[in-house]
Amino acid sequence: MTAICDGRVAVVTGAGRGLGRAHALALAAEGARVVVNDLGVGPDGGGACAEPARQVAEEIRARGGEAVAHGADVATADGAASLVTTALRTFGRLDVLVNNAGFLRDRMLVSMDADDWDAVVRVHLAGHFLPLRHACAHWRAEAKAGRRPVARVVNTTSGAGLLGSVGQANYAAAKAGVVALTLVAAAELGRYGVQVNAIAPAARTRMTEGPFADAMAAPADGGFDAMAPANVSPLVAWLASAASEGVTGQVFAVEAGRITVMEGWHPGPTADKADRWSPAEAGEAVRGLLRGARTPRPVYGAG
CATH number at residue 124: 3.40.50.720
For 85-124, write each residue's pLDDT tens digit: 999 999 999 999 999 999 999 999 999 999 999 999 999 9
Read off the pLDDT of each residue in 126-154 and give the average, rounded to a whole number: 98
Count of CB atoms within 10 A of residue 16's CB? 27
Give ∠ CA 88-102-38 in degrees, rounded to 5.
Answer: 40
Cα–Cα distance measured from residue 154 to residue 100, given in angstroms and rounded to the nearest whole number: 8
For 60-85, write each residue's pLDDT tens digit: 999 999 999 999 999 999 999 999 99
Whole-prediction pTM: 0.93
Domains held by the chain: number: 1
Q: Please give the pLDDT value at position 217.
A: 61
Inside any domain, residue 285? no
Kindly state the DSSP code that residue 151 receives in the 8-state scheme. E
Inside any domain, residue 188? yes
Sheet containing 96-98: give its strands across: 67-70, 33-37, 9-12, 96-98, 151-156, 194-202, 251-255, 258-262
Structural domain including 35 reads 9-262
What's the full length of the chain, in residues? Answer: 303
| DSSP per position, 216-257 | HPPPTTS---TT-GGGTHHHHHHHHSGGGTT--S-EEEEETT
Inside any domain, residue 294? no
Q: Please give the pLDDT value at position 70.
A: 98
Inside any domain, residue 287? no
- List the catalytic residues: 158, 171, 175
Kindly state the percentage of the chain with pLDDT values over 90.
86
Q: Please give the pLDDT value at position 26.
A: 98
For 259-295, write each residue's pLDDT tens digit: 999 999 999 999 999 999 999 999 999 999 999 999 9
